[in-house]
Amino acid sequence: MLILAVVLILAMLRLGIWQLDRAEQKRDMLSSLISKSQRVAVPLASVNRNDANLRYTSVTASGRFLPEKTVLVDRQVVAGQVGYTVVTPFEVEGMSDAVLVARGWVSAGQSRAVLPTVETPVETLTLTGRLNFPAAQPPLWDDKYPVSDGLVWQYLPLTEVAQEMTLSLFPLVLELAPDTVGPAALRIDWPAIDDQWVAKHQGYAFQWFAMAFAFFIACVVLLLRRRNATDNDDS
């Protein structure tokens, strides 16, 4: 019994230490992402599309929008209001791939049956922003529902989007910089790079350490009770 209790306590402590290690790894990753986002923007045409570490890289891209292929990503909430993220493909000079540009947020309005009208410039532009993953599948998404309904998409599976648009697409989305002005930009309020990943693992570590401490106290109490019971029997 005592050996089993020691093994369990050591296992809980080990899991707590592992979570602290994970928190440190995420802290290093977070620092890298923040540093990457603050660097001078590089031309998107010079970026290796197969690089696995492109997220939050600051880039510039010159080219033209394809307004007729604009889509809306549904269920995007800003300041308590439901709306859409407007995403328009952008033909980049010097690249065979087009890149999806997340231009910002628009309100859904009073009726979901009436889609917002979005103006898109057609002249040659130079855009600045950061690379990010496409809108991910919502939690608990049921595959029996369609991903898209005309212009409206629930999330952005790039393979399906590329097929629908008949385009070759860059594997990440370009989110316009918050200081972008002009008709290309809408209301821009991208989530900040925060430390929630670090805090999550620190919270898990605390739980494991607390469980180990509580189990240790319970074992001590149980041993003391057994010892007292043995002493009483002897007397």
The predicted pLDDT at position 220 comes to 84
Helix, strand, coil fractions of the chain, as percent rounded to 5: 40, 25, 35
Q: Could you list the pLDDT tens digit for every one of the 235 residues in the chain?
A: 677 778 888 888 898 888 888 887 777 766 666 666 667 789 999 999 998 889 889 999 999 999 999 999 998 888 888 999 999 999 999 999 999 999 999 998 777 788 888 999 999 999 999 999 998 888 777 777 788 888 999 999 999 999 999 999 999 999 999 888 888 888 888 877 666 767 788 888 889 999 988 888 888 888 888 777 665 655 5
65 DSSP assignment? E
DSSP reduced 3-state for 125: strand
Could you tell me where the DSSP H helices lie in 1-151? 2-37
pLDDT reported for residue 36: 67
Task: Sort 192 into a burial class: Cβ within 10 Å, 0-12 / 13-18 / 19+.
Answer: exposed
Q: So what's the pLDDT on residue 234?
A: 56
The residue ranges of every structural domain in the chain are 12-39+195-235, 47-193
On whether the CB atoms of residues 71 and 158 are closer than 8 A, the answer is no
Burial of 165 from C-beta contacts in 10 A (0-12 / 13-18 / 19+): middle
The rounded distance, in Å, linking the Cα atoms of 185 and 102 is 9
pLDDT of residue 232: 60
For the four alpha carbons of 151, 157, 163 and 165, in that order, the dihedral sign comes to: positive
SS3 of 200, please? helix
Q: Please, which residues have CB within 8 angstroms of residue 64's CB and are 6 or more apart in sequence?
A: 90, 91, 122, 123, 124, 125
- The pLDDT value given to residue 37: 65
What SS3 state is found at 91?
strand
Q: How far is CA 164 from CA 56, 76, 141, in A?
A: 26, 22, 21
The candidate with the shortest Cα–Cα distance to 53, out of 38, 32, 39, is 32
